[in-house]
Amino acid sequence: MEATADEVDRAVRAAHAAREALADRVLRAAFLRTAADLLDASGEHVVEAADAETALGPVRLTGELARTTAQLRAFAEVVEEGSFLDVRIDAPDPAATPPRPDMRRWKIPLGVVAVYAASNFPLAFSVPGGDTASALAAGCPVVVKAHPDHPATSELCASLLRRAAARTGLPEDVLVLVHGFDAGVELVRHPLVAAAGFTGSIRGGRALFDEAVARPVPIPFHGELGSLNPVVITEAAAAERAEEIGAGLAGSMTLGVGQFCTKPGFVLAPRGADGDRFLDALTAAVSETEPAVMLDHRMRDAFVAGVAERAALAGVHTPVTPGAGGAHTVSAGVLAVDAAALADGGHRLLLEECFGPVTVVARYSTREEVTAVLGLLPGNLTATLHIAEDDEAAAPLLAELTPLAGRVLVNGWPTGVAVAPAQHHGGPYPATTSTSTSVGATAIERWLRPVTYQSTPDHLLPPELRDGNPLGLPRR
């Protein structure tokens, strides 16, 4: 049932009232681990519910559940270790110019965080996912707006997280769930919501972002909106391993029916015999991919219409025709075009994300064409470069790709986002609306703000900042 404005208000106020209980880092870490344990213990039911609503399959969902619980446990370790507080202490120095007083800085939680669940990851980017885990780790209560594609899975996961809170001595309302489109808008407008995290479409994310910044008190909105994830294949790489690259691309672009935000949707490949070998290998591998079910009919319809519109552009041909594979399925495909044709502006649609199992291969003849096309691309989550050993084109191309994305890969594929301290899952707009990551330990930084205490008596300071470091925290 969709939440009314009054129900959203009650949900936010209940979460807001739970803030002080989350201040205890020991309880927070225990809560995150207990949540992971309960999700694992109920894994069979969670996977069954998610598969019934998404058709992603038990193998994929079992792996996603493992990723989700690993994220929760990883953030428990972050909370215990304490460096996320970024404690910095400057001793007073009257002889400095200007004189320096005693200053002690750390980071505190922002307050209630609104999390907007994603459709394509009903666990890892949904109710118990990375946005929720990182916000709770920061000490922020969470109100999740469930995705309409998996409401039962959302309810099940929310009940497990609330049970984990109660089991560790925290109020259940450290996490509250609401449903409905209007509820999502009311949530971002609520004066007690201090920040928001979103994973979804450019259109939906931008609408919520505009609401967030138009408030009387604007709030941070960390949105992951969409990404083309370009790939550049050098001539030397194609000469060295064209077939391997073609097969690898096919596997990456069709993984999860092309419904990953890091799907490689645009490829610059050389003309000539080696480029033909690459395209032939890609064509063969994609042709063997069976039709599959997308997450919902709205996405399926958008994919079928989107690939048809792109295929109808002048100069575009279809080595493998993408589109409807049946009444409920889609077929993967490949679109090809001359790179030079992209410069005239009439093919800009090919430079926009098409959610689903399709990629665009732009064939280039000169290095200048590569540079020209890269100059047309929007911001991305990832950019990938395939090179050969001692490839002279490698360094300049890596430099050209770096401004375009938050994660740059060499001789790999962008699908499969490791949950690790050095991970960055973000990128220039429209990939995301901020410079932060939504995956990895530093995702916690989105929900914190720095505060400095100046010339404050030791007994008035938080224990984290007192002389003698009574909590044994990392300090600078």
Q: Are strands 103-109 and 448-454 parallel, antiparallel or unpaired?
A: antiparallel
Average pLDDT of the segment spanning 149-158: 98
pLDDT (0 to 100) of residue 344: 79
Give the pLDDT confidence of 288-323 residue by residue, as tens digits.
Answer: 999 999 999 999 999 999 999 999 999 999 999 999
96: which residues sit within 8 A by CB, 6+ positions away?
none
Q: 297 Cβ partners below 8 Å, 6+ apart?
A: 328
Tokens 């080595």 found at: 319
**Contact in structure between 377 and 353 (CB atoms under 8 Å):** no
Q: What are phi and psi of 112, to 5 degrees?
A: -65, 130
Q: Which phi and psi angles does 92 have, rounded to 5°?
A: -65, 145
| pLDDT (average), residues 374-399 | 97
Structure tokens that stand for 183 in this block = 């509820």
Q: Is 278 helix (H, G, I), strand (E, B) or coil?
A: helix
Residues of the chain with CATH 3.40.309.10: 230-410
Radius of gyration (C-alpha) of the chain in whole angstroms: 24
Q: What is the mean pLDDT of the chain?
A: 97
Give the residue ranges of DSSP H helices in 90-167: 130-138, 151-167
Q: What is the pLDDT of residue 346?
A: 81
Q: How far is CA 377 from CA 123, 265, 290, in A?
A: 31, 12, 31
Has residue 345 got a pLDDT over 80? no
Query: From start to end of 189-249, where are the E strands?
Result: 193-199, 221-224, 230-233
| Residue 424 in tokens | 């960055």
Q: What is the mean pLDDT of residues 1-7?
A: 94
**Catalytic positions:** 224, 261
Report the alpha-carbon distance of residue 447 to residue 432 in Å, rounded. 16
- In the prediction, which pLDDT does 122 show? 97
The confidence score (pLDDT) of residue 33 equals 98
Please state, in angstroms and rounded to a whole number, the distance separating the CA atoms of residues 362 and 269.
6
Q: How confident is the model at residue 168 (pLDDT cuts 50, 70, 90)?
A: very high
Residue recorded with tokens 């009444």: 327
Cα distance between residue 459 and residue 457, in whole Å: 6
pLDDT confidence of residue 327: 84
Structure token pair of residue 340: 């030079």
Q: Tokens in use for 109?
A: 């939680």
Give me the pLDDT at residue 326, please. 85
Closest CA to 439 of 177, 118, 206: 118
pLDDT the model gives residue 218: 98
Cα separation of 200 and 210, whole Å?
15
Domain with CATH 3.40.605.10 in the chain: 5-225+432-465
Residue 199 tokens read as 């994973």
Torsion-angle region of 428 (φ positive above 0: left; ψ -120 to 50: alpha; else: beta): beta
d(CA 280, CA 334) in angstroms, rounded, equals 11
Angle, CA of 357, 360 and 362, to the nearest 5°:
165
Angle, vertex CA 37, rays to CA 36 and CA 39, nearest 5: 65
Mean pLDDT across the stretch 354-363? 98
Distance CA(363)–CA(347), nearest Å, equals 14
Alpha carbons 73 and 195: distance in angstroms, whole number: 23
Other beta carbons within 10 angstroms of residue 26's beta carbon come to 10
CA gap 138, 130 in Å, rounded: 12
Confidence band for 405, pLDDT divided at 50, 70 and 90: very high
Grade residue 1 by pLDDT with cuts at 50, 70 and 90.
confident
* Percent of all residues in the chain with a pLDDT value above 70, rounded to a whole number: 100
Q: Which CATH class is domain 5-225+432-465?
A: alpha beta
pLDDT at 188 over 90: yes
CATH architecture of 230-410: 3-Layer(aba) Sandwich (3.40)
Q: Are strands 323-324 and 329-331 parallel, antiparallel or unpaired?
A: antiparallel
Q: What is the pLDDT of residues 62-84, one digit of tens each?
A: 999 999 999 999 999 999 999 99
Q: How far is CA 454 from CA 138, 462, 463, in A?
A: 23, 13, 15
